[in-house]
A and B are shown apart, each in its own frame.
Chain A
Amino acid sequence: MKYSVCHDSRIGCRSMNQDRLDWAQTSAAVLLVVADGMGGHRLGDVAAQVAVEQITQAFRQAATPRLESLQQFLTEAVTTAHRAINDYAAQRAIPLDDAPRTTCVACVIQDGQALWAHVGDSRLYHLRWGRTLTHTRDHSRVQMLVDAGQITEREALTHPQRNLVFNCLGGDTPPHIELSRPTPLAPGDILALCSDGAWAPTGDRFSSAFALPIERAVPFLLDAAEEAAGASCDNLTLLVLRWDSADVQHEPTDDDPATQPLSTVSTIIQNFADAAILTEADIERSVAEIRDSILSHKSNGAT
């Protein structure tokens, strides 16, 4: 597996950041997760934190290094996260109907296929060549109005009830976990997980920013969202993975989720130890390859 990850989370104009994100990897599988703690309830940040921790921990236990079933993993991990939030509330004698709540979107990748689950209005976008192939449908009041044809997607962005979410982790109603289909990834594909603070202000223009390399697209989008939202800016979180290929063994780095180098610099030498092995046949092949390349230019009449 070869891919790059880039992310950022900002407080916006709120007094605290209740968004959380994390990602984890083994040699065979990747997990991405974003949660947006709900402000209308107490301890939204705790709910988001517990959800992200639970799901990441479940991944670390289940991916050895492969996950047996992506569907089963996501369903169980997200359900466990919901229970863990309610356990937290119970331990502190918080009534269940007042338990902390969070939205959540999580994605796992294995064998070049992605599968994601979401609850609420945190989104996953799947982009290819700068176009949105799909994004998750929010479990929100305005999405229902859009689906019913009563308002347009554009109107939904400014609708007064846009913050009403009817599905979440934590609380007395068990979450409805919506699972995607297994989705094959192509080289260059983008998976962007985000809280509503990151996607809503820029709306349908969101995908166009990914014409930039991801390490530039992430700050660009967050800047643009902050600017568009102005003084009412919500917390903003964006976690982006750029898929390169399934076949190359991904070298697990340390735990630091730093941006991986992009493919544009692949001509730079990577590993001295690998390079030491060079057979006579390798040398002959390289020389022949370069000679062919030179000859093809010459025969094209380019001088």
Chain B
Amino acid sequence: MSQTNQPLPPGFQLESYRIERQLSHGGFSIVYLAHDANDLPVAIKEYLPNGLALREGEGPLPSIKPEHVAAFNHGLKCFFEEGRAVARLSHPYLVRVTDFFRANGTVYLVMRYERGHTLQEHIRKHDGPLPESFLCDLFGRLLDGLDEVHANGLLHLDIKPANIYLRADGSPVLLDFGAARQAMIGEGEILKSVYTPGYAAPEQYRGRDGIGRWTDLYAIGACFYACLSGQPPPRADDRLENDTLVPAVKRWRGNYTSNFLELIDACLRLDPQQRPDNARALQQALLDGTPLGGGNSLFGRLRQIFAH
């Protein structure tokens, strides 16, 4: 049941692309480093759900058992959703899709290959908490990209340091838009939505009701927290039972500005209504060093209107 798929071998000619090596292998897809016809590097994501489509040695064509066709097709639709979503986005801080095609009985998403390392690796390598100026600059730009995502009516739903890439020039790229649409195949082919404990907002544990921009902003707060502590905050479902999260204002008082720490705590509120209203409002508060709700967020503006 849990046999893993063979990746396409190095040197494999996939349409106009030549596979160099496998970069990662998720339960849902394999990501390769390849070169296009102009010999420029690209990242290619291959839809190949483990346990549903099996590629074993011989040819590139995976075999799909008849009882798995429905689940495979469901996943395929999810992959199309991801393709449709990212194809609509064009922003310097969002992953750029350059091609999408069918081959080998499945489908492929081609993205620009980004050199650098993930924020996750950066946190691990860096000794101690990351400085505020670095984080404000990084997230100030990233929120620009997230605002673009939301402006297109999309949600990321799996923002975490491992999905934030830092280019050599220091600019960020938000990767992996598969989460919202992607499905994970568990025992008995039950398809679940993907989320990462610690970064997922409480509303994500309750299915899809109540999910919105504020869900991505919780994850942003969790990323900040991880940049300071090296660890994500406690799981949101555990926090609902018994909240052991030490507020950022308490834990790092004196080491960061209080405005910065308050913004982190605001993002990590369990009640979505208490979080910043949108990425733009958070970005402004972060960069201007002004508190939220002072006319920045829609919620804050409305509060002012109704206060008189």
Contacts and interface: CB of A to CB of B under 8 A. Distances in A.
Interface in A154-193: none
Contacts of A220: 273, 299, 302
Contact of A228 (B101, B180, B306): B306
Nearest to A258: B209
B145 to A, nearest CB: 14
A289 B88 CA distance: 11
Interface string B67-86: 00111011011101101110
Interface stretch (B12-20, B92-100, B284-292): B92-100
Interface string A203-220: 001001101110110011
B87 A205 contact: no
A283 B208 contact: no
A294 B100 contact: yes
B77 A278 contact: yes
A248 interface: no
A213 B212 contact: yes
Interface string B88-122: 10100000111111100001000000000000000
A264 B180 CA distance: 12
A211 B298 contact: yes
Contacts of B155: 264-265, 267
B193 interface: yes
A284 B100 CA distance: 11
B154 interface: yes
A267 B211 CA distance: 12
A278 B100 contact: no
B212 A290 contact: no
B236 interface: no
Contacts of B71: 272, 276
Contacts of A84: none
A275 B73 contact: yes
Contacts of A64: none
Contacts of A300: 90
Contact of B77 (A211, A228, A275, A294): A275
Contacts of A294: 87, 97-100
A291 B209 contact: no
Contacts of A266: 153
In this complex, the member of B83, B181, B191 whose beta carbon has the largest number of chain A beta carbons within 10 angstroms is: B83
Contacts of A205: 305-306
Contacts of B210: 215, 259
A291 B302 contact: no
A92 interface: no
A211 B302 CA distance: 9
Contacts of A275: 70, 73-74, 77
A: interface residue count bin: 35 or more
B273 A216 contact: yes
B173 to A, nearest CB: 14
B183 interface: yes
B298 A289 contact: no
A290 B87 contact: yes
A303 B94 CA distance: 12
A267 B80 CA distance: 10
A283 B79 CA distance: 11
Contacts of B302: 208-209, 211-212, 220, 224
A210 to B, nearest CB: 10
A76 B23 CA distance: 68
Contacts of B299: 212, 216, 220
Contacts of B208: 261, 265, 268
A290 B84 contact: yes
Nearest to A296: B87
Interface of A: 202, 205, 208-209, 211-213, 215-216, 219-220, 224, 227-228, 258-259, 261-262, 264-269, 272, 275-278, 283-284, 286-287, 289-291, 293-294, 297-298, 300, 302-303
Complex A-B, nearest 6 residue pairs according to Cβ-Cβ distance, in ascending order: A276-B70, A293-B87, A275-B74, A224-B306, A278-B73, A290-B83
22 contacts: A205-B305, A211-B298, A212-B298, A216-B272, A220-B273, A258-B209, A261-B209, A261-B211, A264-B212, A265-B212, A266-B153, A267-B180, A269-B74, A269-B193, A275-B70, A276-B74, A287-B80, A287-B100, A289-B84, A294-B98, A294-B100, A297-B90
Given A259-B209, A268-B193, 20 more contacts: A205-B305, A219-B273, A261-B208, A265-B155, A268-B180, A268-B181, A269-B74, A269-B77, A272-B74, A276-B70, A276-B73, A278-B77, A284-B102, A286-B84, A290-B84, A290-B87, A291-B99, A293-B84, A293-B87, A298-B98
